[in-house]
Chain A
Amino acid sequence: MPGMNSGVNLSNPVVVAAFKAALLHQGLIVLLILLVFGLAWIGARAWLRRGAGGGTGKQASGSPAPVLAEPAWRRLLRIGFGLLWLFDGILQAQPKMAVGLPSQVIEPTAASSPAWVQHLVNWAATTWSYHPIQAGAAAVWIQIGIGVWLLAAARGTGSTLAGVASVGWGLVVWVFGESFGGIFAPGLTWLFGAPGAVLFYCVAGALIALPERLWYSPRLGRLVTAGTGLSLVGMAVLQAWPGRGFWQGGQHGTAGTLTSMAQTMAATPQPHFLSAWVGSFASFTATYGFWVNLFVVAALTVIGAAFLTGRPRLIRPALIAFAVISLAAWVFIQDLGFLGGLGTDPNSMIPYLLLAAAGYLALVDVSPAEAAAGVTAEPAGWRDRFQPASLRRSVAGASYRTVASVCAVGIIILGAAPMAVAQANPVADTILAQAINGKSATLDTPAPAFSLTDQHGRTVSLADLHGKVVLLTFLDDTCSTDCPLIAQEFRVAGQLLGADIQHVELVAINYNPLYTQLSYIRAFDSQEGLTRVRHWLYLTGSTPQLQHLWSAYGLVPAQLLPAGAMLAHGDYAFVIDQSGQLRRELAFDPGPGTQATKSSFAAELTDAARQLLGQS
């Protein structure tokens, strides 16, 4: 899938340092948000209460409406999934995430899905690859923000919105991060995490967002347990389906699907004892694959059927059994899900279990009186809520939970805003280029003069370009690796400069001592689509002329290598200002030459040119 992989090493120190710095800066802003909101709340409440004659908000609004306790099922979902989001947010802060998530997590997940899923996922993952720091940090803060929000907002509009946020973000993650939880891929199985951990986050968010009048409805518990039962029976059928490799352990030297999965997970970097457990299970499955699968199929069927009955006395033991096998699968097959430096969450077992338990609680924890009473007080309309007096009452009576909820929204915006701004720039961040080659060197010396022949046969000298910013590189016209990539970066830089290209000249000087003819310059231009690029000059001359220039610019001399090797040369780019002074030297090894890095180098060139144009 093109675009997903920036090609930069996962642990590239430049990117990792930038990611950590971004998280640190944004973390300080989070603390500032907490401090400002906390102080504002304390100050406003004290001031408003003084203005109301020392009375409390509640007293001012008359007798308080009776408030029902939040039902246990909802509290379980809210706190459980709030903690999960928090944990996921922390996992997103792992150093390899910024670069590794698209290529190491998203791409492999999408690989077995149909082409249309891959295209969809690729589109989004490419965006991540172009702006790894902003995207990585956004994921951290958005997930922490949602977690805090769910934990803080126990009821009311804020809590509903927290549930909605969980659904919204969860869907983004489920579609783009999990490739729809793999439901369109052939290897779908409950054991590996189907139908996608984050789908449970979405369902939980939707349940949390339900209006209060439905909290105590007995139908809710029946619906959730029935849904759980149905999904488990469905998973049992999938598990039992022949030809998917689950019935075989490791016969004839070929590992079955489950064995292979456990073996893969055991090889993940993790504590030794855990690796040993998972490895032992892989060996066990290799020997008793049929019986393991039979047990899983039977267990899922029985547990699912029990949930489908809707009878608490059957569901309770089924829930316990479900917890036991879920935890076993979580440890022995999913290997906890979050280890190895690129784990994004603890996989599906914990959220699945939370949802099943919430369904059971919703079924049994219904007070008839509460259910009959429904919501005890009619909430005020939106118009009423924005009346000055009502606002005063709200602020004065706001609890720490409300303030924490507002802070959580601030944290989400903190993560989302820079990413949204980055998206407005469809060119990759220059950090990718810097990650490959380091930062450019600043110079201030006269650029060595040249007088050579351009692709049209005209003589061009550096003096002719006086008054323009010159972006200069050296290209071997028969090069089959780096030079075409560098040429593309110059081509894209020409596009990115837009109208500013009038004041810029994109110049390449031939870096091949043998193929110096104009016909080769033109063939290279044609190959790279440079023939119609405005202000593009590809210059050549005699071999001594070229060799003199390479030396004058301090380049590694081009070397003719034996035995069919490409010419040996370096990769350079220079920025020459309007008065002919060399201002910057960019190490220009294009590295992996991915879409992201190409765009990144072009952005670096463009920035350098604009900087000089801005100074003139």
Chain B
Amino acid sequence: MRLPARSPAVVLVLASALAAGCGAAAPSARPPAAEAPPGGAPFLATSLATAAGTWAVAVMGGTAAAHNNFWQLFLRPAGSTQWKLATPPGAADNGGLVVAGAGGQSLITGFRPSQYLTYTPLVTTRNGGQAWAPAGPLDAAVANVPDALAVAPGSGQLLALLSGGTAKLAAAPGYTRWSRLTTQPAIAATAPGRRCGLRALTAATFTPSGTPLLGGTCARPGTVGVFADRNGTWQAAGPRLPAVLARQPVAVVRLASAANQTAALLRVGDGGAARLLAAWSADNGSHWALSAPLPLGSTRLSSVSFGAAGEAAVTLGGNRAQAIAGPGAAWRPLPALPPGTATLALGPAGTIDALAVHRSLLTVWQLSPGASGWHASQTMDVPIQYGSSG
């Protein structure tokens, strides 16, 4: 029969398998490493500004299978308006790319492991993506968040947030010897961690003076989970929220440092009451300037980008986007995004680029200051190698 199928079967299987005993070891099945970003959204898509120019990360390729999604790194060199492909070669990046500026022309990139790979290859460039040299690796999967890697100004120390909630440190230049900085349970057990009711770590950065900062999600309403490692002790370093938001749960969405300040993006509240707050600190988290809350409702936050001076732009569901220029400024809505926009890149003189992807085609749309709409400024056919990771 075909339906409730009947097999002939398995023979003496019973008897003989029992007789054969448990002698030999059949290799154990190992599930491939997790690949999907949280909620299925390409949240790793982002851009950041360094002295080399603006770097942007976006996922391209197929949508049917994760192994046909390839993450790409693009660079718009300083002084140029044109983007170029800068994805480092040598390892499959289906699991995602995480980048961190390393000062000057340097950038460090981590390949989030996918399929059977379980550790994180690292690669650095010192010349704006023209050549890449391996570093590390990191012996576990780097967290699936855009701020999972951070480089300390000056020392070049690399801070990595792992997917299990551990933060590790390694010294420049090779990043081959890693030491554990802390873990989510360890911070949760400290006094500020208990006050926060720390559930998860979601972002890592160094302040401009080189203090490690970790951000997370707090169980206790109204508490912002930002922690600073000051002389070996983890201390609360997050902003105080206005009283009107004091009963809302808070999650640190992003933490990034640039120039002389640290920027944070906070999601306050749940569901339809969710709001987005930007925060800036110029003194290692002792004092913060907060933006006005941006109502999110139930809209999905799909990408956050930071500019060189702490300005931020976010893309939301429904082709919506908002940008904020920095402390004291207000959120301003951007014109409806071009279809397929993966992330925004903040440019000089107030221009904003929208990087829109469709399979292997990248289209860059530009928004000039004061303009009411986007105009296409560049297209690029990315040579995606479909099937190469299948």
Contact = CB atoms under 8 A, between A and B. Distances in A.
Interface of A: 2-3, 88-89, 92, 101-102, 105-106, 108-109, 123-125, 127-128, 130, 135, 138-140, 142-143, 172-174, 176-179, 181-182, 192-194, 196-198, 261, 265, 268, 334-335, 337-340, 342-348, 416, 419-428, 478-481, 484-485, 488-489, 491-492, 495-496, 512-517, 519-520, 523-524, 526-527, 560-568, 595, 598-599, 602
A251 B123 CA distance: 57
B302 interface: no
B64 interface: no
B29 interface: yes
Given A125-B10, A416-B11, A563-B383, A480 B5 contact: no
B2 A527 contact: no
Closest 4 CB pairs of A and B: A177-B7, A139-B8, A423-B16, A347-B1
B93 interface: yes
Contacts of A176: 7, 9-10, 13
B6 A566 contact: no
Given A178-B6, A480-B92, A520-B134, A563 B13 contact: no
Contacts of B383: 562-563
Given A344-B6, A345-B1, 20 more contacts: A123-B17, A128-B7, A140-B8, A142-B8, A172-B14, A174-B6, A176-B7, A182-B4, A337-B1, A339-B2, A342-B2, A347-B3, A347-B4, A424-B19, A480-B117, A481-B389, A491-B27, A517-B176, A519-B176, A566-B388
Given A419-B11, A426-B23, A478-B117, A561 B89 contact: yes
Interface string B94-121: 1101000000000000010111111101
A566 B89 CA distance: 8
B16 A566 contact: no
A138 B12 contact: yes
Contacts of A127: 10-11, 13, 17
B contacts with A: majority SS: loop
Contact of A599 (B26, B70, B91): B26
B4 A425 contact: no
- Residue among B13, B92, B132 with the highest chain A CB neighbour number at 10 A: B13
Given A124-B13, A595-B29, A599-B27, A561 B388 contact: yes
**Prevailing SS type, chain A contact patch:** helix
A419 B16 contact: yes
A420 B121 contact: no
Nearest to A172: B9
Given A127-B10, A481-B116, A565-B389, A514 B89 contact: yes
Contact of B139 (A105, A342, A514, A526): A526
Most chain A beta carbons < 10 A, residue from B29, B70, B91 = B91
A104 to B, nearest CB: 8
Interface in B65-108: 70-72, 85, 87, 89-95, 97
B289 interface: no
Given A481-B116, A485-B116, A562-B383, A108 B5 contact: yes
A568 B85 CA distance: 20
B85 A563 contact: yes
Contacts of A172: 9-11, 13-14
Contacts of B243: none
Nearest to A199: B6
B293 interface: no
25 contacts: A3-B26, A101-B8, A123-B17, A124-B13, A139-B8, A179-B4, A192-B3, A193-B3, A197-B6, A198-B6, A265-B3, A338-B1, A419-B12, A427-B24, A428-B26, A481-B389, A492-B26, A496-B24, A519-B174, A520-B134, A520-B137, A563-B360, A565-B70, A566-B388, A599-B26
B72 A564 contact: yes
A425 B20 contact: yes
Contacts of A423: 11-13, 16-17, 19-20
Given A565-B92, A566-B92, A338 B2 contact: yes
